[in-house]
Amino acid sequence: MRDSVRTFLIAALILLVSIATGIIGFSVLEGYSLLNAFYMTMLVVSTVGFSEVSPLSDHGKLFASAYMIINLGIYAYIVSAISRYIFEGEFKKIFTTFIFNNRAKKVNNHVIVVGYGKTGAKTCDELLKSKQQFILIENSPQALQYLPENPHFQIVKEDATREEVLMKARIDTAASLIVTLPDDSSNMIICITAKGINPNLNIIARASEESAEKKLYRAGANKVVKPFAMGGIHMAHLITQPHVIEFLEILTGIKNQGLQLEELMFNELKDVYKNKTIKELDICKNTGATVIGVKDPEKGFIFDPNSETIIKKGDILIVLGSHDSLKKIQMYCV
């Protein structure tokens, strides 16, 4: 885009220089006033070919002839520059970038996804289902061709290893970064750069090679995911523990049976529901959803908590239920 803007500005500058040359030339050679010199210059530049202000001298005719030939080249260059904007979509790109930058300024606590391969595409789908605000960074033409026609998320079509590209996606105000590129070295560079800009950023990175896991943690990743290793474990468990895996697939939504897991944080609760026991909250009766776990900041996860467990500051409730029952959970939230 910068090259296109530069081309357009050069064309505009050449036109201004040409007009100034014409005004000076006609003023000096023919003694025209500035208005008449400007008028004659516009006749030549516009290629209209209207009548002269007064008959030209021999020197004036030579200047006008040379000036016409030069302006034919200038005219062709300007037309090509403008055509590029109109017919090759450069103006649309600039306008789209302008709109994107204005929208990006308003984005906070969002997720940034790097890469739209198989892993990245699935990540974006899940974030859309969860109505999570996110920005995708991808510059591979092969990957971009699989984007939906009208994506419901913002896209930065540039190289994520560059700091200015991460800044364009507002890495400084983001809550999380998901790096899904197949190249481990690129993922490390992105993690290091992102963590340097935003130390509080939650980074989840993909590791293609076993040896890259530790390096990614050192680069600033909070969690490292190994898709091939997880896939192998999953396939083995389909043989050794098929019913457990089936149950987990239902919980995670892989099997579409209408059940979902949801997080309910303490700070999201209305004051009247804070520091109450699970029995007092009575979530199951009021919504139909079931509390299957509590994340305690000190004790960690408490599975199948008893009814006398008090939900205190920092706790997170893990709730299982249908789509409708989880919508009713909002009655507990601010």
Q: Say whether both 199 and 301 belong to one domain.
A: no
Whether residue 135 lies inside any domain: the answer is yes
Number of domains present in the structure of the chain: 3
Q: Which domain holds residue 62?
A: 2-91
The DSSP bridge pattern shows strands 154-156 and 134-137 to be parallel
- Under 8 Å between Cβ of 193 and 167: no
pLDDT (mean) for 289-306: 90
Cα separations in angstroms, 51 against 31, 32, 47, 253: 17, 15, 12, 78
Q: Say whether both 112 and 221 belong to one domain.
A: yes
Whether residue 176 lies inside any domain: the answer is yes
Q: Say whether both 172 and 62 belong to one domain.
A: no
CATH for 272 = 3.30.70.1450
Whether residue 194 lies inside any domain: the answer is yes
Q: Say whether both 115 and 190 belong to one domain.
A: yes
CATH for 80 = 1.10.287.70
**CA–CA separation, 108 and 274 (whole Å):** 27
Q: Say whether both 114 and 82 belong to one domain.
A: no
CATH for 131 = 3.40.50.720
Span 130-150, pLDDT tens digits? 888 999 999 998 888 888 877
Span 169-221, pLDDT tens digits? 999 999 999 999 999 999 999 999 999 999 999 999 999 888 899 999 999 99
Q: Say whether both 128 and 184 belong to one domain.
A: yes
Span 100-137, pLDDT tens digits? 666 666 678 899 999 999 889 999 998 998 888 999 99
For the full predicted model, state whether its pTM sits above 0.85.
no
Q: Which of 91, 122, 157 is the last residue before a domain boundary?
A: 91
